[in-house]
Structure 1
Amino acid sequence: MQITSMIKRAAQINPNGIATIYQDRQQSWSQMLDRVARLAGALQGLGMEPGDRVALVSLNSDRFIEYYFAVVWGGGAMMPMNIRWSAAECAYALNDAGAKILICDETFKDLAVEIKPQVSGLDTLIYAGDETAPKGMLNYEELIAASDPAPDAGRSGDDLAGVFYTGGTTGFPKGVMLSHTNFYVGGVANAHDINMQDGTIYLHAAPMFHIADLIWFSALTFMAGTHVVIPAFTPDATLEAIEKHRPDQTLLVPVMLQMILNSDKLASTDISSLKQIAYGASPITEAVLKEAFEKFPNVSFLQAFGQTELSPVATILPTDYHVFEGPKAGKLRSAGRATRVCEIRIVDEDHQPLPSGEVGQIAVKGPITMLGYWNKPEVTAETIIDGWVMTGDAGYMDQDGFVFLMDRVKDMIVSGGENVYSAEVENALGQHPAVATSAVIGIPSEQWGESVHALVILHPDAEVTSEELQAHCHKLIAGYKCPRSIEYRSEAFPLSGANKVLKTELRKPYWEGKARQIS
């Protein structure tokens, strides 16, 4: 199972079909295959060895897709960076992974220059923008033009295909290692489960560094369809691309969907080409779905649930269950059923299966499960037990196999579709001299699903404003991780017998009266 076999097949069965559309550029599958092979050769010429991590920090573009295939074609492992991370977070991940090459676009060229001295072994910066390459950077297009096509390195199966950094329970990001098999199997399953057809035109509106959009690279390439790309999501840019390029599918997180529904331009935009909207990353409210059904009357909706460790889709709620009436009603609050390439069960604290209807931790097993966490064998052992990935999400399974999310076992918040680990925020807050201790929790938010809320105890006689603490955090962690609200406490936090903060008690007042403890 090779990632590269996907693009080879696409170029074979649809050589003259349009592979990518980005701004005023478009290319066929045969042209893209040639560019991928040449970029792979260029990376090898720069010293990329089998398994080496090649990082990229960039907005969405056609070159992002080329990077995805070229790195593994040349034998390396991709490492797309979260574009919302701070310089400190980027430098940590690059050092942790030992990346030698970093590709950046126009938007992130200054960030690349800033972090290069902080990363040991980062020898090469490649500029993949459309302007003149900054001093000290190689030019992406010139590298492709000057390189001969490299033969496929032939890595496959359990060979490392990429390292994808997520939040960490210890206050530092951790790298999820995914294999060629993970992407191949995930791509095949997704192509089937998300109803892709030969020649599907798909709009990349979600950020490409997210594993959710990356797996769509594989699924769409399997079908030799067309990748339509916008640099970054805005409601107007998304609607403009739908009208201009006539895609029939796209993927959105709930907050993105809600922003489009609120757009004044929706009513005047021709959306007739769109046949399906997939959504995921965080739960969606029935109110948003009802409005979406009304404003997209000819569009089917589909939900995908999973996580990076599952490359990334574990369950699908198909389009035919997106109904409020009839024999298939009643499943909209679920995350769907297991895909065709994994098993799911609900387990207790001893990791033993629970019967239907009982709440426990959701566990997943199959060829989509990660290889483990980069340089973190202990965390890997805690997460993968007898081949089952412990997701950290609590829920139950009904008699029809539908999974319903109820809470989180891990100390994690999902805000606007982004995962935020409380430990990372607490680690940042703790570096302020006025802060004695803190506890970070997720509280309900109409806009973001969950909002990051910090409970802070200051040192005696210390003073600091919420604005000052938020500004302090922004220097250390991504903006979406920073507390949106801060509450000061004078009394100690409640503790368990093991002297851990009882966040369940801290969360109770905010979630009182809600059927589930996540949004």
Structure 2
Amino acid sequence: MQLTSAIRRAAQANPNAMATIYKDRQQSWSEFVTRTAKLAGALQKTGMKPGDRVAMLSLNSDRYLEYVFGVLWGGGVIVPMNLRWSPTENAYSIDDSGTEIMLVDENYAAIIPAIQEKSSTLKTLIFSGEGETPAGMLNYGDIVDAAEPVEDAGRGGEDLAGIYYTGGTTGFPKGVMLSHRSLYISNLSNCREFCMPDGVRYLHAAPMFHLADGAASFAATFAGGTHIMIPSFTPAATLKVMQDHRPTHVLLVPTMIQMLIQNPDFHKYDTTSLTTIMYGASAISEAVLVEAMTKLPTTKFVQAYGQTELSPVATILAPEYHTTEGPNAGRLRSCGKAVSTCELKVVDEDGKEVSSGTVGHIVVKGPITMLGYWNKPEQTAESFKDGWVYTGDGGYLDDDGFLYIADRLKDMIVSGGENVYSAEVEQAVTQHPAVAECVTIGIPSEIWGESVHSIVILKPDVRTAEDDIIKHCHNLIAGYKCPRSIEFRVEPMPLSAAGKVLKKDLRAPYWEGKERNVN
């Protein structure tokens, strides 16, 4: 089970078919495999050894896909960097993973000095962007052109393929270790679940560092399809590339779907090539989904639920359940049934399976599960019990095996498809000199699904403004993690008998009247 076998197969079955389309650059699958083998050789020349981690900090491009398969071909491990993280957060994940080589494009070259200042392991920088190569960096095109193609290193099975960093409950990111096996099996399944035939044309509109896009990307590669990239999502750029390059599939988070269909110029573009929209990463409102289905009547919708620890898809709500009429109506609030490559159940606090209709902890088992968290055995043991991954989500199964999400059991907020752990926000807020105590919760948002809201108690005889605290946080953590609103509180936080803050009591007024405690 080698992930690189997917591109060898694509080059054999479709040698002259387009592998990648990015701006004015195009290459066939046979050209892509040759270039991948040359990139692997170039990385080995810079010092990459089997199992070494290689990071990339870049917007979407054809070179991002080359990075993924070039590192794997050369025997390395990919570490995709979160574009929205601060230099401090990115430096932490670089040092935590022991990464010595990183690729960076022109959009992020300016923050590299700040990352280098905070990192003790980063040694080699490769400029993969456009324009002049910054001082102290190797040029991507030059090193690839000068390299000889090398043989595939042959790593596969349980060998580590990627470390994907997520937010942490302790305030520090944690690296999810995914093997060749877990990604291989998951994405063979995704080919079918995402309705991807051979020759699919997949549009990378979601960020390629994110495993949500990675799931669709690997699946499209297994299908020998064409990868069409735009640097980043905007409604205008997405609509234009849909008209110009006729993709058949795209993955979008719900916020993107809403922005796309509500764009005032939506009707001016030809979107009829689009056969399937995959969506996930956060809940979608039924009103937005119905509007999207109405405006894209020939497009099928597929919802995926999962998490990075599951490579990442655990359930699928298939196209036939995206309807408001007939026998399949009423499933739009569900996130579907377990995929064929995993088992899923709902358990109580003692780990015992509960009956249908009863809310409990969603747990998943199968060959798609992670190897664990990098260098974090205690957190691995907390999330991985008897082969089951405890997702941290509360939900229930109905009598037909459809899963419904009811709540989030860990202190996590999903805003615009990104996970935000309250501990990370609280740690940043409490570093403000005026703040004595902070509790962060998620509250409903019509635009982002959920919004980060901090409840703050100030130190005695000290005053500060909401904007000052938010600005302070922007210097420490990614913008999407920063509070969008601050509530100043005078009275003490509500506490349990054990002395823990009762976040459910603080959340209650904001979620009153909601059917579930996620949005």
Asked if these proteins are the same fold (TM beyond 0.5), I'd say: yes
CA contact (8 A) 2:432 2:472 kept: yes
- 1:215 matched residue in structure 2: 215
Could you say what secondary structure the match of 1:220 adopts?
helix
Could you say what secondary structure the match of 1:284 adopts?
coil
**How far off is 1:113 after superposition?**
2.7
**How far off is 1:285 after superposition?**
0.9
- 1:116 matched residue in structure 2: 116
CA contact (8 A) 1:361 1:393 kept: yes
**How far off is 1:297 after superposition?**
1.2
CA contact (8 A) 2:343 2:366 kept: yes
CA contact (8 A) 1:167 1:424 kept: yes
- 2:269 matched residue in structure 1: 269
1:321-359 superposed Cα distances (whole Å, 9 cap, x missing partner): 001111111111001000010000001111111111100
2:186 is the counterpart of 1:173: no
- 1:511 matched residue in structure 2: 511
Could you say what secondary structure the match of 2:112 adopts?
helix
CA contact (8 A) 1:434 1:459 kept: yes
Distance 2:217 2:289 in 1: 26
- 1:403 matched residue in structure 2: 403
**How far off is 1:153 after superposition?**
0.6
2:248 is the counterpart of 1:227: no
Distance 1:154 1:402 in 2: 39
Moved more, 385-394 or 109-118: 109-118
Q: Could you tell me the percent identity over the aligned residues?
A: 60
Could you say what secondary structure the match of 1:389 adopts?
strand
2:199 is the counterpart of 1:199: yes
Gaps of 5+ in 2: none
- 1:78 matched residue in structure 2: 78
1:157-215 superposed Cα distances (whole Å, 9 cap, x missing partner): 11000111000000111000000011101110000111100101011100111101112
2:339 is the counterpart of 1:339: yes
**How far off is 1:28 after superposition?**
0.2
- 2:427 matched residue in structure 1: 427
What amino acid does structure 1 have at the position aligned with 2:141?
E
What amino acid does structure 1 have at the position aligned with 2:67?
Y
Could you say what secondary structure the match of 1:293 adopts?
helix
1:14-53 superposed Cα distances (whole Å, 9 cap, x missing partner): 1110000000000000000011001111111111111111
**How far off is 1:66 after superposition?**
0.4
Distance 1:151 1:110 in 2: 35
- 2:382 matched residue in structure 1: 382
What amino acid does structure 2 have at the position aligned with 1:335?
C
Structure 1 segment 414-493 matched on structure 2, within 5 A: 414-493=414-493
2:355 is the counterpart of 1:355: yes
- 2:310 matched residue in structure 1: 310
CA contact (8 A) 2:441 2:507 kept: yes
Runs of 4+ in 1 over 3 A off after TM superposition: none
**How far off is 1:497 after superposition?**
2.2
**How far off is 1:114 after superposition?**
2.2
**How far off is 1:216 after superposition?**
1.6
Aligned length: 519
Distance 2:122 2:267 in 1: 49
CA RMSD, aligned part only? 0.7
Distance 1:350 1:299 in 2: 43
- 1:187 matched residue in structure 2: 187
CA contact (8 A) 1:416 1:450 kept: yes
What amino acid does structure 1 have at the position aligned with 2:350?
D
2:252 is the counterpart of 1:249: no
Could you say what secondary structure the match of 1:103 adopts?
strand
- 1:372 matched residue in structure 2: 372
**How far off is 1:466 after superposition?**
0.6
CA contact (8 A) 1:86 1:475 kept: yes
What amino acid does structure 1 have at the position aligned with 2:270?
D
**How far off is 1:498 after superposition?**
2.2
CA contact (8 A) 1:112 1:125 kept: no
Distance 2:72 2:466 in 1: 45
**How far off is 1:252 after superposition?**
0.5
What amino acid does structure 2 have at the position aligned with 1:506?
L
What amino acid does structure 2 have at the position aligned with 1:149?
P
**How far off is 1:148 after superposition?**
0.6
What amino acid does structure 1 have at the position aligned with 2:427?
N
What amino acid does structure 1 have at the position aligned with 2:333?
R
- 2:284 matched residue in structure 1: 284
TM-score with structure 2 setting the length: 0.99
What amino acid does structure 1 have at the position aligned with 2:304?
A
**How far off is 1:117 after superposition?**
2.8
